[in-house]
Amino acid sequence: MTDLSFADPRIGWRGSRPRSRSRMLQRGAVGRSTKLAGSPVKDSLQTLLAKYIRTVDHIFQPDASLEGPYDRVNSLDEALSNLYTDDVVATLESRGYSVEDIMCWAWIITAVSPERAAFRLTAVTNGDKLANRPGRKVPIFVFLFLLRRQRLTVRTLKLLLLHGWDRLMGRISRPGTSNSPLGLDDAVKPDSWSTRRWNNKQGAIGMNMRMDETTVMIMIVRLLRHARMLWPQAIVSIAAMVSTGVDGLGSAPRYSSPAALNERSTARLTFLYNRALSLCSVPSSLHPFHSLAYHQRAQFNLLKRMNSFEPAITINREGYRAIVRVQVAHKKTVKERQWAIMKAKSWPPWKEEKLGLDVEKGVEDGISRASQVLSRSNEAGYSGLAFEKIAQISAGWDTDRSPTIQTRTLLCRPPRVRRLRSSSAKRGDSAISDEKNKEFWAPRIRATRTVEEAWACFLANEDQ
């Protein structure tokens, strides 16, 4: 699994090339650009928590190498006095925390299983109503650290998703809601939470710190990674976090009307929203074709939100490619199935009029949804590169505008445009025709109906 803890989601918007983890460590950029992602910084809360776990927490373990209870107490007193100096206590109090909060964070982090850690996180933030114990604030880096764990369960992911919405909205859930079946089922229905789950009077008690856009994107990246493997239905809810957390309003209240964006905000939101479209286009590991409806719905919600800004956020090449990936893999519509029936048995499969009504149907009726997206991309000024041509073949039309068989395909992740252009310039691909380009023949062979057609297409490739 890829560790995205050191990946800054803003890279690409500012035009800088991605930096590796080693380069960021050498330049000290890890603590600067991903401070909230869990990387330790001097005198930070992450550093204090790490020191507590290393020097204090192990004393409470049953297997601690101590001879007796007195040695344990003496070691604990010495460790606590060395850790909680006057400066450290003053720093915690200035940030609204106490020494007991450090113990709670360590209790969450050191859980033996992700599910137990999620339950501990919920217990600490919600508090205990019967014992009249209020919930405690937990820093965002603790939550992001839990999302880095690999082997989650569906129930754990639901609890973490609920907690993510709690943080994003700046509210705390009612006691017991996170453990109830209603609360877990509503994790994919963020629009109904304001009336069914939240106690508005308690909204300002707990997590009152607004999450910045970088932290929101890191949280979304990690939640989507788990959702694709365990719970594809949650992709819709996770994508809705982009509309809520990346709104270009700065410190304005949530759910404000979309503000008029300046040039810098427009550039930033254009990159982030199109990157979110790309993240939602990655197929799920669990039933990739059956879960495409959730990917499509998530993208449609993002597009609707992009259109609500003033001026509207445009779709760049990355966004168009993300939409094409989902549409190519999606099942045919009724109109596309009717067009497939009218195709002749010969090759290329041109339209064959089988009924009198078929005379009125032209080539425009055979344009699939993926082909329409590719046409919009071309109209927006993005010329067709190798990825667009491969997608066009799978969408039902070859590069020479002859018809193929529309085929559901999980397209590979498209390469970065600047890398593709540089490599193409070195190889001289601009001078190579589509008929001689080998990477186009694999989708052509797949876009056939029978073994004979596929074999004939393969032999045509050999003759080039």
DSSP string, 352-364: ---SGGGGG--GG
d(CA 60, CA 66): 10
CA triple 358-363-367, angle to 5 deg? 115
Quick one: pLDDT at residue 224?
A: 95
Cβ(299)–Cβ(326) below 8 Å:
yes
Quick one: pLDDT at residue 69?
A: 53
d(CA 330, CA 294): 11
d(CA 205, CA 198): 13
Residues 6+ positions from 290 with CB-CB distance below 8 Å: none
- The whole-number mean pLDDT for each consecutive block of 10 residues of the chain, a chain of 464 residues, reads 47 49 45 43 75 77 53 65 79 85 89 91 77 76 91 91 86 53 50 41 45 88 94 92 75 47 86 94 91 94 91 92 93 86 86 73 80 92 89 89 88 70 46 62 88 88 73
Quick one: pLDDT at residue 73?
A: 61
Peptide bond into 258 cis (omega under 30): no
d(CA 331, CA 30): 43
- Please state the pTM of the whole predicted model: 0.79
d(CA 437, CA 206): 59
Give φ, ψ of 394 to 5 degrees.
-70, -25
Cβ(240)–Cβ(302) below 8 Å:
no
Taking the CB of residue 320, how many other CB atoms lie within 10 A of it?
Answer: 21
Quick one: pLDDT at residue 260?
A: 67
Quick one: pLDDT at residue 130?
A: 54
Cβ(79)–Cβ(59) below 8 Å:
yes
Taking the CB of residue 367, how many other CB atoms lie within 10 A of it?
Answer: 18
Quick one: pLDDT at residue 436?
A: 59
d(CA 349, CA 402): 8
